[in-house]
Amino acid sequence: MTGPARLVAGPESLAGEFEALRPHLTSVAYSMLGSVTEAQDAVQESWIRLGRSDARAIDDLRAWLTTVVARICLDMLKARQARREDQVGMRFPEPVFAGMAADGPEQQAVVTEAVGLALLVVLENLTPLERLAFVLHDIFDAPFEDIGKIIGRTAEAARQLASRARRRVRAAPRPDEDLSAQRHVVDAFLTAAREGDFDRLLQVLAPDVVLWFDSGPGPTALHEIVGARAVAREILRTAPRFLPHALSIMVNGAPGVLHGTIAEPLCVLGCTVAHGRIAELHLVADQAKLHSPVWLVDAATAWRARGRGHR
């Protein structure tokens, strides 16, 4: 990852350059880790490592920092994998969410482009090397030659890792492109749930819809319900507690629902709409994963533009 030579005027200038790149670096780390908190830690560690390096010898600061963040995230993923060897189930990602009326067009665009929860769930099942290769190449357009250098393998090995990851990603539901159409489906879902209309729920749920629950730490915290009828029954059972005062929000680039407030969320429901029906629902009630809005710039523009890995 090289680029044109750059001039470093001093520590203040370097700090300014780093802050300008922080949203991009946070997006890379979040896509790698599925955790806002861990992503921020990785980015902060990259700043510490930059301070220990000779910045005058760095031609392309963005590429250099992206490489450093990727390596930090890879180490974090490997450590996470080692810690959960004896655990049951998988880790569920943290959602990124904001109100439908964000502070401005830039923030609204950021929320719209965030990596979706359905994709993040699939990424959690990849090996650390597969995840790094896929995220850097398919989402952030890094060449395989550079990815190979990060992981200490050849460019062809990096290509194969990304290819294996891509095959698994293709099994995940691909959200419809039209956000307004997605919102229409989610609104119909909410109306049916609030009115207790079982048949109308079945009309908006895909036959093989999956409802994921993340209620917090513990071996049974993460579980799922599969199938439209089973999910509809569960929704109608919990709707009286969850939906009367629910707010429409954006969750990882897709329409979703918030119980509570943006500042103090109680739980968040992310919705993946595919082929005009809800294919996945992600209910996150783990308070440790519910943050105020975090703007993740640059997160998935390339991913969306390429048809989500169908190359």
pLDDT per residue as tens digits for the range 18-52: 999 998 898 899 999 998 889 999 999 999 999 99
Kindly state the tokens that stand for 306.
């390429």
Kindly state the tokens that stand for 215.
């209620």
CATH 1.10.10.10 intervals, the chain:
118-172
Supply the pLDDT for residue 90.
55
Please state, in angstroms and as integers, the Cα–Cα distance from residue 58 to each residue in 53, 54, 256, following that order. Answer: 9, 7, 42
Instruction: Give 202-223 as a DSSP string.
Output: HHHEEEEEEEEEE-SSSTTSEE
* pLDDT tens by residue, 140-174: 999 999 999 999 999 999 999 999 999 999 878 88
For residues 231 and 281, the answer to whether their CB atoms sit within 8 Å is: yes
Q: Is 284 left (phi over 0), alpha (psi -120 to 50) or beta?
A: beta
Q: Please enumerate in sequence order all residues whose Cβ is within 8 A of that of 106, keeping only pairs 6 or more positions apart, or say none.
A: 295, 297
Please state, in angstroms and as integers, the Cα–Cα distance from residue 102 to each residue in 30, 98, 194, 265, 268, following that order. Answer: 20, 7, 26, 16, 17
Please state, in angstroms and as integers, the Cα–Cα distance from residue 194 to each residue in 200, 209, 271, following that order. Answer: 11, 19, 16
Supply the pLDDT for residue 221.
59
Q: Which CATH number fits domain 118-172: 1.10.10.10, 2.60.40.10, 3.40.309.10, 1.10.287.90?
A: 1.10.10.10
Distance CA 265, CA 73 (A): 27
Question: What CATH code is assigned to 1-86?
Answer: 1.10.1740
What's the predicted TM-score (pTM) here? 0.81
Kindly state the tokens that stand for 141.
């357009």
Q: Which CATH number fits domain 179-289: 3.10.450.50, 3.30.200.20, 3.20.20.70, 3.90.45.10?
A: 3.10.450.50
For residues 219 and 86, the answer to whether their CB atoms sit within 8 Å is: no
CATH 1.10.1740 intervals, the chain:
1-86
Per-residue pLDDT tens digits of the chain, which is 311 residues long? 444 444 444 667 889 999 999 988 988 999 999 988 899 999 999 999 999 998 888 989 999 999 999 999 999 999 988 776 544 445 788 888 876 554 554 444 444 455 788 899 889 889 999 999 999 999 999 999 999 999 999 999 999 999 999 999 987 888 998 989 999 999 999 999 999 999 999 999 999 999 998 887 665 556 889 999 999 999 999 887 777 778 888 898 889 999 988 888 889 999 999 999 999 999 998 888 886 555 444 444 444 444 544 33
Distance CA 306, CA 296 (A): 20
Which residues are paired to 250 by β-bridges? Answer: 98, 255
257 three-state secondary structure: strand
**Backbone φ and ψ of 267, nearest 5°:** -160, 160
